[in-house]
Amino acid sequence: MTDESCKQCEKKSFSERIREMKKHKGKYEMEWRMITYMLGVFFLLLVIESLAYVGIIHNQNILSHYGWWVFYATIAVVSVGAAMWHFNSYKGDIGMMPGMMVGMTFGMQTGLMIGAIMAATNGIFVGGMTGMIAGTFIGWFNGRCCGSMGIMEGMMAGMMNGIMGGMIGTMFSSDHILWFMPVFIAINITIMLGLSYMLFEHYIENNDKITKKPIDFLTFFSYCFLVVFVLIIIMVFAPKSGLARIG
């Protein structure tokens, strides 16, 4: 192995990476843009949701029943969406193993978060179905990067963890779920950010064959808005069963 290839294999510590991101912002243009887009879309969606409640709904029961879950759904959609934006903004060949990791992580975390959130408001059937469909689709979409193996890995992870998310949301509905959810969501967000970090370190950095083709802020916001809107519609109008009837 040459000295040059060994240099490319070297991995920076997390603190070194943070210092370099602050010092060489041009190198990390897409990563800074991901963070900006993620925060911008999240707060913009919160403003729209707040205005919709104040201007249209005016129902304290709806706020108490759905408020936290709309908030967590917004976090889940934006965090997964930001990781997808980052990954799909870079175009180039990706190996089988990292590609399978991409499909698995996207499918798993999407299924877990969406399944748990929807089950908390609608019960295990709607939660499991919504989480399974969302996780399977997102796992398939991002797993395509390395062909059939990535697709299979993404779909399997989405299917299993969508159902598991539905079970988690239903079971914890009877036992301190509002204490459980901040920790649960925080860990899931950390994993999604960790995926972006891993991809940059192993797939993007020092790869001259990679090109940048990001979608713009308005398009990213539109996708997130549409998904959050659909999830809210499901929360409110889909059947409710089991522990979701409590309270």
Cβ atoms of 100 and 84 closer than 8 Å: no
Q: Which helix (H) or strand (E) holds 214?
A: none
Residues near 52 by beta carbon (within 8 Å), at least 6 away in sequence = none
Domain count along the chain: 1
**Is there a domain that residue 2 lies in?**
no
**Is there a domain that residue 5 lies in?**
no
Alpha-carbon separation of residue 115 from 24, 80, 160 (angstroms): 39, 14, 11
Q: What confidence tens digit (pLDDT) does each residue in 198-217 have?
A: 888 888 877 778 888 899 99
**Is there a domain that residue 87 lies in?**
yes
pTM tops 0.85: yes
**Is there a domain that residue 236 lies in?**
yes
| pLDDT of 174 higher than 90 | no
Residue 25 CA to residue 20 CA, distance in Å, equals 8
3-state per-residue secondary structure call for 144-204: HHHCHHHHHHHHHHHHHHHHHHHHHHHHHCCCCHHHHHHHHHHHHHHHHHHHHHHHHHHHH
**Is there a domain that residue 8 lies in?**
no
What confidence category does residue 146 fall into, taking pLDDT thresholds of 50, 70 and 90?
Answer: confident
Question: Three-class SS of residue 93?
Answer: coil
Higher-confidence position of 25 and 162: 162
Question: Three-class SS of residue 30?
Answer: helix
| pLDDT of 157 higher than 90 | yes
DSSP state letters, 219-233: HHHHHHHHHHHHHHH
| pLDDT of 56 higher than 90 | no
Residues near 179 by beta carbon (within 8 Å), at least 6 away in sequence = none
**Is there a domain that residue 37 lies in?**
yes
What proportion of the chain, given as a percentage, has pLDDT over 90?
Answer: 60
| pLDDT of 154 higher than 80 | yes
Residue 225 CA to residue 172 CA, distance in Å, equals 28
Provide the residue range defining the domain that includes 55.
15-245
Q: What confidence tens digit (pLDDT) does each residue in 66-121 have?
A: 999 999 999 999 999 999 999 999 887 777 777 788 899 999 999 999 999 999 99
**Is there a domain that residue 169 lies in?**
yes
> How would you classify residue 123: left for phi > 0, otherwise alpha for psi between -120 and 50, otherwise beta?
left
| pLDDT of 245 higher than 90 | no
What are residue 212's DSSP bridge partners? 90
What confidence category does residue 22 fall into, taking pLDDT thresholds of 50, 70 and 90?
Answer: confident
The pLDDT assigned to 199 comes to 87
What confidence category does residue 28 fall into, taking pLDDT thresholds of 50, 70 and 90?
Answer: confident
